Amino acid sequence: MRLGGRESGNVEDRRGQGRVGRRIGGGRIVAGGGLGTVVLVVLALLFGVDPGLILSGDGPTPPPYATEGGGPGGEPPPADSARTFVARVLAETEDVWNPLFESIGRNYEEPRLVLYNGVVESGCGTAQAQVGPFYCPGDRRVYLDLGFLGQMQQSLGATGDFAAAYVIAHEVGHHVQNLLGVLSRAEALKGRAGEAEANALQVRVELQADCLAGLWARRAHEARAILEKGDIEEGLNAAAAVGDDRLQRRARGTVQPESFTHGSSAQRVRWFRAGLESGRLEACDTFLTDRL
């Protein structure tokens, strides 16, 4: 990727502050962004983690620092290339979504992105690093553990810098959905639905976030030529790597479509490509189509 030099000022670096905090919202972890509850359990099995720890928010954490700062003496966490990359990708999302929202007469409220390791407190609960990247609508923040992201790339084959950017763009896509009211409407519908129907609704939410990630890539490239040879393939590969069917088959050898919460590999690729090829919000309406 050819990222510009601007770094977003909306990155909170909480690495080194991992510690057990109080539960928020009755201890429920909202996994409605990163990888989804079913997929989280699959990844937990892959990585040798007790799934119960992920779903409850309990479990061991690394030794905490004594202060609220990044290091033992309260100093900020040191700059590093991974943080710089994340801050530049987030800046690219801001440079796409601000003018797009303006074009539809809306104000884009830029999300905060929290880097953490071990455990983190969010407006949606206390989360272990094993839950992977996730978005919390309660505090409008994206949460990202860089170590888990690297492990996911190595274990699932989702390699390359654009694959990592796709993950960030997907989570920012959930923020866009939140601002547009999609998440609240979907949650209301899920509250009146049975488990299978609720899962199906969540799949549409996640596929739309994939489409919005593709839309972002298209518009960022048109404006600033960020894509290099092979980047699109990295994004499509990443979308396929986190398909529910592929993860379930790898973890237990069988696939249960009724338990999907993010969509199959083919669906995730299709909707990422839909956003990438069109660059239009209207092309990302996963709720008014019979073909996912």
What does the pLDDT look like over 250-286, one tens digit per residue? 788 888 887 888 988 889 999 999 999 999 999 999 9
Closest to 168 measured CA to CA, from 152, 184, 185? 152
Q: Among 173-177, 183-187, 214-218, 238-242, which stretch is predicted with the lowest mean pLDDT?
A: 238-242
How confident is the model over 113-133, as pLDDT tens digits?
999 988 899 999 998 877 778
Alpha helices (H) along the chain: 37-47, 51-56, 81-103, 146-156, 161-180, 182-191, 195-224, 231-241, 244-252, 265-278
Computed over every residue of the chain, the mean pLDDT equals 80
Distance of alpha carbon 292 from alpha carbon 281, whole angstroms: 16
Distance of alpha carbon 274 from alpha carbon 213, whole angstroms: 10
Instruction: Identify the bridge partners of residue 120 per DSSP, sorted by sequence position.
Output: 127
**pLDDT in the model for residue 45:** 36
> Is 3 within the bounds of a domain?
no
> Is 160 within the bounds of a domain?
yes
| Number of structural domains in the chain | 1
> Is 291 within the bounds of a domain?
no
Range of the domain at 134: 11-284
> Is 260 within the bounds of a domain?
yes
> Is 21 within the bounds of a domain?
yes
> Is 290 within the bounds of a domain?
no
> Is 57 within the bounds of a domain?
yes
Between helices 195-224 and 81-103, what is the axis angle to 10°? Answer: 90
Write down the pTM of the prediction.
Answer: 0.81
Answer whether 284's CB lies under 8 Å from 274's CB.
Answer: yes
How confident is the model over 122-170, as pLDDT tens digits?
999 998 877 778 999 999 999 999 886 677 677 777 788 898 899 999 9
Answer whether 120's CB lies under 8 Å from 30's CB.
Answer: no
